[in-house]
Chain A
Amino acid sequence: MEDQELTVDQVRNAAARGGLDLTEAEAGQLVKGASRDRRLAEAVRKYATRDIEPAGVFRAGDIDGR
């Protein structure tokens, strides 16, 4: 399933969720790249194990200088 290409509709819907209004032709140009991005986004998840926080975790001291 992970290797399947996204459809134009899936790309348009994902774009719309982010406030991007794409024509069918514009969305069509993104299908190949967006499908590859989807695979990359899935690939990183194996490194996000339960006890790991994101890099650049918030530190209050960074704000008030402590």
Chain B
Amino acid sequence: MAAEDALSLTIAELAAAYRQGEAKPVEVAEAAFERIGRIDGRLNSFVTLTRDLAMRQAQAAQDELAGGVDRGPLQGVPVGLKDLYATQGIRTTAHSRVLLDWIPDQDATATAKLHAAGAVLLGKLAMHEFAYGGPDLSSAFPPARNPWNPDCVTGGSSSGSGAAVAARLCFGALGSDTGGSIRNPSHLCGIAGIKPTYGLVSRHGVVPLSWSLDHCGPMARTVEDCAIMLQAIAGHDPRDAASADVPVPDYRAGLAGSIQGLRLGVPRSWFDEGEGTDPEVLAAFEQALRVLRDAGAQTVDLDGAPFAESRAANTIILMAEAYAFHEPNIKSRPRDYGDSVRNRLRQGGLLSATDYIQAQRARTTICQQLRAVFDQVNAVVSPSGPRVAARFDAFDPDTAYRTPSYTHAFNLSGLPAMSVPCGFSASGLPIGLQIAGPAFDEVTVLRLGHAYERATSWHRQAPAL
């Protein structure tokens, strides 16, 4: 197999190809850098390339595989990291001038776990500045562009992760998600991405946005690949105060189970909030429900749970915690922030202590009600977002406040949620299906996503670049 052709494989397929002698890690890493050099000037998905490290890792993986040392399916697989995961000896900027010269002296836990699994780090990926601003020309680096149409946004804040995975520049990437930042770019770039349960993946060494809402997780081309990556990074970490000491199941093995009889809740009243959901998105979602029913799942309409109301509490908590983290720098060096994130951070400084506490009290109530939903159903399904990707020249950040947000409820509650591709608009832009489940039941979420992928071919579509 030509190395360039190997770039179109999934992680699971590449791992098999390595073990069957059909591909070699060094050649695949070289092909990835060649493709990045040829294409990424149009996408801006990488902000730092780590070629020397990657080639050392690829050679090590190749030697180990030849010598019978098998670290699992990520061994020799080229990946990228959102540029807020600390990387020892490698610049970590969070896409901001504030951290432009920061070279961490240790890896984030998730970074270290990927290294231990034998992954090949191609580089650090673009993001919305500090995972907070929108796509902003005044940030330290240009915004990532959507591989399906470079005139369109990728969604964020894990923008480079979404673009690079969709463009076949890397096989998988880590993102982070505080209000939808894994699921939004997965939705808009046509890939899979999972925000695991709060505490399942360590945040140690990850630049925070909002301590009580931040989640780390993988983005890849398929649900199976997300399962493989999640397996590598999940697990208790005493260096993360919120880390959960829970058993980590075999996510990939869990994909094989049936979805026969699983009950899926559909919170339809949510879809009409504000200016509502795009008809093309709704049509793709309804078709996805039919596919899931054909595969044996049951769908039931949900009413009454405060899904839509979650956004207000999530937003207030996020703003207050983000301001607390950035307070010294936003006061002393505000011009080092891009316009978008500077204004958002300053807005957080206008909130009162009482505002924050009331939002945290509301969170208790809302979470109790959301978790009770899972006494009735095994999962909640919705569109991943209300719109397809907007053009840069028509991008309006306020649109997000006028349309339903399907993601915030699962940051506020910490429950696992993923996006999987479920169609395209007439303009050729991807649409995602969100699947959310009970706490620490990633197995069911992934199984549903995998069952959906087995019955469809949306995840096999690739942008023409």
Task: Judge: A and B partners, yes or no.
Answer: yes
Inter-chain contact A15/B346, CB cutoff 8 Å:
yes
Residue B32 lies at the interface, judged by CB distance under 8 Å to chain A: no
Chain B residue nearest to A45 in the complex (CB) = B358
The CA-CA distance from A53 to B313 in the complex, in Å, is 14
Inter-chain contact B343/A33, CB cutoff 8 Å:
yes
The CA-CA distance from A32 to B363 in the complex, in Å, is 25
The 6 A-B pairs with the shortest beta carbon distances in the complex, nearest first, are A54-B360, A47-B362, A48-B361, A44-B362, A55-B363, A40-B312
The interface residues of chain B lying within 8 Å CB-to-CB of A19 are: 327, 331, 349
Q: Kindly supply a per-residue 1/0 record for chain A positions 12-30, scoring 1 wherever the CB is within 8 Å of any chain B CB and 0 otherwise.
A: 0011001110100010011
Instruction: Name the one of B241, B351, B361, B363 contacting A41, with C-beta atoms under 8 angstroms.
Output: B351
The interface residues of chain A lying within 8 Å CB-to-CB of B316 are: 37, 40-41, 44
Instruction: Name the one of A11, A34, A53 contacting B364, with C-beta atoms under 8 angstroms.
Output: A53
The interface residues of chain A lying within 8 Å CB-to-CB of B331 are: 19-20
Residue A4 lies at the interface, judged by CB distance under 8 Å to chain B: no
Inter-chain contact B361/A52, CB cutoff 8 Å:
yes
The CA-CA distance from A56 to B398 in the complex, in Å, is 30
Query: Which residues between 313 and 358 of chain B lie within 8 Å of chain A, taking CB atoms?
Result: 313, 315-316, 319, 323, 327, 330-331, 343-344, 346-347, 349-351, 355, 357-358
CB proximity of B212 to chain A, nearest CB, Å: 6
Instruction: Name the one of A37, A48, A62 contacting B351, with C-beta atoms under 8 angstroms.
Output: A37
Instruction: Name the one of B315, B350, B360 contacting A56, with C-beta atoms under 8 angstroms.
Output: B360
Chain A residue nearest to B360 in the complex (CB) = A54
Interface centre among A19, A34, A49, A55, by most chain B C-beta atoms within 10 angstroms, is A55
The CA-CA distance from A11 to B347 in the complex, in Å, is 9
Inter-chain contact A47/B306, CB cutoff 8 Å:
yes
Inter-chain contact A11/B350, CB cutoff 8 Å:
yes
Chain A residue nearest to B344 in the complex (CB) = A33
Inter-chain contact A55/B350, CB cutoff 8 Å:
no
Residue B420 lies at the interface, judged by CB distance under 8 Å to chain A: no
Chain A residue nearest to B319 in the complex (CB) = A37
Can you name 14 extra interface pairs (CB under 8 A) apart from A48-B361, A52-B364? Answer: A18-B350, A19-B327, A20-B330, A30-B346, A33-B343, A33-B347, A37-B315, A40-B312, A40-B315, A44-B316, A45-B358, A47-B309, A47-B313, A55-B364
Residue B366 lies at the interface, judged by CB distance under 8 Å to chain A: yes
The CA-CA distance from A45 to B319 in the complex, in Å, is 16
Q: Number of B interface residues at 8 Å Cβ cutoff, please give it.
A: 35
Known: A40-B315, A47-B366, A54-B361. A30 touches B212 (CB 8 A): no
The interface residues of chain A lying within 8 Å CB-to-CB of B311 are: 40
The interface residues of chain A lying within 8 Å CB-to-CB of B344 are: 33
Chain A residue nearest to B350 in the complex (CB) = A14
The CA-CA distance from A37 to B359 in the complex, in Å, is 12
Residue B401 lies at the interface, judged by CB distance under 8 Å to chain A: yes
Known: A33-B343, A54-B363. A20 touches B349 (CB 8 A): yes
Residue B216 lies at the interface, judged by CB distance under 8 Å to chain A: no
Inter-chain contact A34/B362, CB cutoff 8 Å:
no
Chain B residue nearest to A39 in the complex (CB) = B312
CB proximity of B170 to chain A, nearest CB, Å: 35
Inter-chain contact B343/A47, CB cutoff 8 Å:
no
Chain B residue nearest to A36 in the complex (CB) = B401
The CA-CA distance from A52 to B357 in the complex, in Å, is 11
Known: A30-B346, A40-B315. A48 touches B362 (CB 8 A): yes
CB proximity of B241 to chain A, nearest CB, Å: 8
CB proximity of A4 to chain B, nearest CB, Å: 16
Inter-chain contact B346/A41, CB cutoff 8 Å:
no
The interface residues of chain B lying within 8 Å CB-to-CB of A41 are: 312, 316, 351, 355, 358-359
CB proximity of A61 to chain B, nearest CB, Å: 13
Residue B365 lies at the interface, judged by CB distance under 8 Å to chain A: yes
The interface residues of chain B lying within 8 Å CB-to-CB of A37 are: 315-316, 319, 347, 350-351
| 23 sampled A-B residue pairs with Cβ under 8 A | A11-B350, A14-B350, A15-B350, A18-B350, A22-B346, A30-B346, A32-B398, A33-B347, A34-B347, A37-B319, A37-B347, A37-B351, A40-B316, A43-B312, A44-B312, A44-B313, A44-B362, A45-B358, A47-B306, A48-B365, A52-B361, A53-B361, A55-B364
